[in-house]
Amino acid sequence: MPYRVDQIDPSKTAMIVVDMQNDFVAEGAALRSAQAAAMVPRLAATLKFCREKGIRVVYTAHVHRRDGSDMGMYDDLYPPIADRSCLVDGTKGVEIFGDLAPAPGEHVIKKHRYSAFFATDLDLVLREWGIKTVIISGTTTENCCHATARDAMFNNYQVVFLSDVTGTFDYPDVGQGSLSAEEVHRSTLTVLAFSTAHVMTADEFKSRVTVVANAAANKAA
């Protein structure tokens, strides 16, 4: 039976905003996810809620050095990465999309693979903060969000995966048939809900944080 996260303690929770960068969100970007772009207002409202409740917010940005020294297999997988038109460290494309800009003091973890935990100091930062639960938002659902959720679970964090503030793109047929963004998104949520995370909407997440806050207030009274 998949586990549930019914009560969320703000002091032990972090929101991880995965790769909501210009190269994935901005109009005309080669790697743009229309789903991710469409959910920007809902994610912005969710981040505002997190800050008001004292939930730490940490961002990730997928970047590569222009010389390809951290590239791995991405040159073979994605032409816009291979020709250095996307995800080049130090360019405007890798900056967080303006409507979701980090607040003062919030960190942006640079990563070179799908998972935000792979070869980064994210786990070190979360443990320093005493984090027990991570909330996953951002793009893309099946790659960077999914990989980050899996590695969070592997590192013994409780994982909440937000179904309506994650998104992806249409998949072309590369030999196994094509899939719409909606099909990819829904299938990934199904897998995660069974094996990795408590999948819920942003509003469901907010209601669980409120319950904990009210319980603490009642206990103090």
CB atoms within 10 A of CB 195: 11
Is-catalytic flag, 145? no
Nearest to 32 by CA among 48, 15, 20, 42: 20
Contacts 24+ apart (CB under 8 A), 191-196: 191/146, 192/146, 192/149, 192/161, 193/2, 193/161, 194/2, 195/2, 196/149, 196/150, 196/153, 196/159, 196/161
Is-catalytic flag, 111? yes
The two tokens of residue 138 are 């951002």
Query: How many angstroms separate the CA atoms of 25 and 28, rounded?
Result: 9
Q: Which of 19, 23, 151, 164 does the annotation list as catalytic?
A: 19
Q: Which of 111, 145, 151, 164 does the annotation list as catalytic?
A: 111
Q: Which of 23, 50, 86, 144 does the annotation list as catalytic?
A: 144
Is-catalytic flag, 9? no
Helix (H) or strand (E) run with residue 111 in it: strand 108-111
Q: Which positions are catalytic?
A: 19, 111, 144
